[in-house]
Structure 1
Amino acid sequence: MPITLTVPEGLLSQQAQAQAFAGLTDAVLDAAGLTGNDFMTANIIGTINVLPQEHVLAAGEPIAAAFVELKLPEIALVSAEAKQAFFEKAADVIEQAAEGRLKREHIWSNIVYAPEGAWGIAGRSYNNADLVGAIQGAVAAS
Structure 2
Amino acid sequence: MPITLTIPEGLLSSEAQARAFARLTDAVLDVAGLTGNAFMTANVIGSINVLPAGHVLAAGKPIAAAFVELKLPEIALATAEAKRDFIEKATDVIEQAAGGRIKREHIWSNIVYAPEGAWGIAGQSYSNADLVGAIQNSALS
Tell whether the structures are fold-level matches, with TM greater than 0.5: yes
1:129 is displaced (CA, Å) by 0.4
Partner of 1:61: 61
Q: Aligned partners of 1:38 and 1:109: how far apart in 2?
A: 26
Among all aligned residue pairs of Structure 1 and Structure 2, give the percentage whose two residues are the same amino acid. 81
Partner of 1:127: 127
1:32 is displaced (CA, Å) by 0.4
Tell me how many residue pairs correspond in the alignment.
Answer: 141
Partner of 2:6: 6
Matches within 5 A, 1:31-110: 31-110=31-110
Q: Aligned partners of 2:115 and 2:38: how far apart in 1?
A: 23
TM-score normalised over the length of structure 1: 0.98
1:53-103 Cα offsets, whole Å, 9 max, x none, are: 110000000000000000000010010110011011101110111011011
Q: Aligned partners of 1:105 and 1:137: how far apart in 2?
A: 40
Q: Which runs of 4+ in 1 moved over 6 A?
A: none
RMSD: 0.5
| Paired letter, 1:49 | N
| Paired letter, 2:139 | V
1:107 is displaced (CA, Å) by 0.4
Q: Aligned partners of 1:10 and 1:76: how far apart in 2?
A: 33
